Amino acid sequence: MRILILPGDGIGPEITAATRPALDALDRRFGLGLIFEERPIGLAAHAREGSTLSDATLAAIKAADGAVLGPCDTYAYPPPEKGGVNPSATLRKSLDLYANIRPSRARPGVPAKTPDMDLVVARENTEGFYADRNMFSGSGEFMPTEDVALAVRKITAGGSRRIARAAFELARARRKKVTAVHKANVLKVSDGLFLRSVRDVAKDYPDVALDEVLIDAMAALLVRTPAAFDVVVTTNMYGDILSDEAAELSGGLGLGGSVNAGDRHGIAQAAHGAAPDIAGRGIANPTALMVSAAMLLEWLGARHKRNALGEAAHALQNAVDKALDDAKNRTPDLGGSATTAQMGEAVARVIKG
């Protein structure tokens, strides 16, 4: 099974390097037969290949069984016409990675503003207000005059139904509750279509409860009553914002893992950015990417019906919890003094036993 490692920008090379020992330890312990290949992406790729995401790298990603993608500093990229392609947007669109699954839960020993949080945000990943991926050709954001800017929001019944189905499947394996987050009281047509599609899918899951919450209320309820939520399904931008809020409340963005998944491809990618301000200092928290890698293994296990991959994913999650429960393994963002590499080594030691 081939796994492509794409270090990315900023802290990306550091956290991918810290994640690799854990994956190697899992491979040996569970006999997974993983074959790793590393390719540049982002600014390093642009310097070498003239593009932040070359055709050769895109082909390699498509050919691999899965990929681990480090954060990308798109703000620092040159314009697209000069090779500054947004890797995340391009991959989500070209590989049809319609489900961005982002769990947030308080972890042992880690100070959390909401210790009762244990939820998953199922975020639609290919539509919404994201101007670089919601059109067949061109951008969904444009300026008819120099003083007028317009943005198109794309919501389809098909896109809404498939992220809803992913959410209900997740909930069926958890606490059997889905919360649809929307603003249909104002965006009556677009959010109305999303909400109608979720309700239609809910009919196929009579064992899973569905409730509906307005986006502004949800932002407050995540702080007040996080334990009330199990799986949250929502559109692209709402999901992006809510999942960052949930990660911060559960202990920090350094814990925010995610997987971008479609029917054929899966990519592990931490929910946070490239953090260029701390790049090269060895203090970045690799937890989010480790958790993301565990989610990728779980997705691969389900797709290929290989129990060992699911067991390895569970072992990695447990190893992260055990390492973080010891204060000496926590990076500065969590109040500790461990380096990025030391946290990675701690997790690998737990896996090895």
Tell me the per-residue pLDDT of 234-264, one tens digit each, with 9 for 90 and over.
999 999 999 999 999 999 999 999 999 999 9
Statement: residue 136 has pLDDT above 90: no
pLDDT value at 131 more than 90: no
Same-domain status, 49 and 131: no
What is the structure's pLDDT at 138?
86
pLDDT at 205: 98
**Residue 216 annotated among the catalytic residues of the structure:** yes
Residue in the block written with tokens 């308080």: 106
Compute the half-sphere exposure of residue 286: CA atoms within 13 Å on the CB side of its CA.
35
Res 233 pLDDT > 90: yes
CATH number of the domain where residue 24 is located: 3.40.718.10
Of 214, 249, 284, the domain-final residue: 249
Contact predicate 137/131, CB 8 Å: no
**Per-residue pLDDT at 133:** 80
Task: For residue 232, name the pLDDT band (cuts at 50, 70, 90).
Answer: very high
Backbone angles phi, psi at 76, to 5 degrees: -90, 0
Residues 119 and 229 in one domain: yes
| pLDDT tens readout for residues 206-217 | 999 999 999 999
Q: What are the tens digits of pLDDT across the range 26-45?
A: 999 999 999 999 999 999 99
- Closest C-alpha among 198, 314, 300, 315 to residue 259: 300
Select which of 183, 230, 238, 322 is catalytic. 183
Share of the chain above pLDDT 90, in %: 95
Catalytic residue among 27, 73, 230, 240: 240
Q: Which among 341, 328, 269 is positioned nearest to 299, based on CA atoms?
A: 269
Q: In the annotation, is 211 catalytic?
A: no
Chain Cα centroid distance, residue 62: 18
Helices (H), 31-156: 43-49, 55-63, 87-94
Mark which of 185, 217, 249 sits at the end of a domain.
Answer: 249
Q: Are residues 223 and 289 in the same domain?
A: no
User: Does 131 share its domain with 181?
Assistant: yes
Q: Indicate the pLDDT class of residue 225, thresholds 50, 70 and 90.
A: very high
Q: Of residues 116, 200, 204, 216, which has the active-site annotation? A: 216
* Judgement on whether residues 277 and 318 belong to the same structural domain of the protein: yes
Taking residues 10-38, what's their average pLDDT? 97
Q: How far is CA 249 from CA 74, 181, 260, in A?
A: 26, 18, 22
Known catalytic membership, residue 321: no
| Residue 27 falls in the annotated catalytic set | no
Where among 249, 267, 297 does a domain terminate? 249
> What is the model's pTM?
0.94
d(CA 199, CA 176): 15
Q: How many domains does the chain have?
A: 2
pLDDT at 134: 83
Identify the active-site residue in 77, 130, 205, 238: 130
**Residue pair 257/241 in contact by the 8 Å Cβ criterion:** no
- Residue 89 · residue 34 · CB < 8 Å: no
Compute the distance between CA of residue 337 and CA of residue 208 in angstroms, rounded to an integer: 43
Instruction: With a cut of 90, say whether residue 14 has pLDDT above it.
Output: yes
What is the number of alpha carbons within 13 Å of residue 71 lying toward its C-beta? 27
183 is catalytic: yes
Q: Summarize pLDDT for 36-83 with one digit per residue, the tens.
A: 999 999 999 999 999 999 999 999 999 999 999 999 999 999 999 999
Q: Are residues 226 and 266 in the same domain?
A: no
Closest CA to 181 of 147, 219, 155, 208: 219
Residues 76 and 186 in one domain: no
- Reference 132, options 85, 95, 98, 100; nearest CA is 85
What pLDDT does 139 receive?
87
Q: Which domain holds residue 245?
A: 114-249
